[in-house]
Amino acid sequence: MNKTLTRLEALKDLVQDAINQGASTVEQIHKSIVDLPLSVLEKNGLLDMDSDKRDEMWDKSIGHVYEVIRRVNQEIGDLASQAIEAVDDQLIIQKNIREAAELQELERAGQARIIDSSAAVEPQVRVADAVPVDSKPVA
C-alpha cells in the first residue's frame, strides 16, 4: 500500500477509536445522569421496582443504544478499509497497465524485446528482455 493510503488507513483507525471511546464515555455519563432521578424517585417511594432490577434494566436499554453506535462505527470502518484497498488495487492495476504499454512501446521502437519466460511465476507472463533486439537472449 502506498504511503498516502497507509496514512489514510491510520487516520480512519484513529477516528474509529475516538468514536468508540467517545461512545463509551457518553454511555457512562448517560447512565450516571439517569441514575440520579431514579434514585430520588426510589427514595420517595414512587418507584415500584427493586433498585438492582431497575439498574439492570436501564443499563441494558442504555447499553443497547451505545452498542449500536459502536457496531455502526465498526461497519463504517470496515467499509472505509475496503474502499482504501480498492483504491490501492486500482493504483496497482494502473501501474501495471502503464508499464505494459511502455514495454510494448519499447518493443515497437526496437529498444527491447518481449519474450516468453519459463522462469515466470505465472504462466503466460511476458518478460521484457533488456538487451538490444539484435542480441540473442540467454537460455
Higher-confidence position of 18 and 61: 18
Domain residue spans of the chain = 3-108, 111-139
pLDDT score at 36 = 84
How wide is the angle at C-alpha 57 spanned by C-alphas 56 and 61, nearest 5°?
Answer: 115
pTM of the model: 0.64
Q: Binning pLDDT at 50, 70 and 90, where does residue 20 land?
A: very high
pLDDT score at 120 = 53
The contacts of residue 104 (CB under 8 Å, 6+ apart) are 114
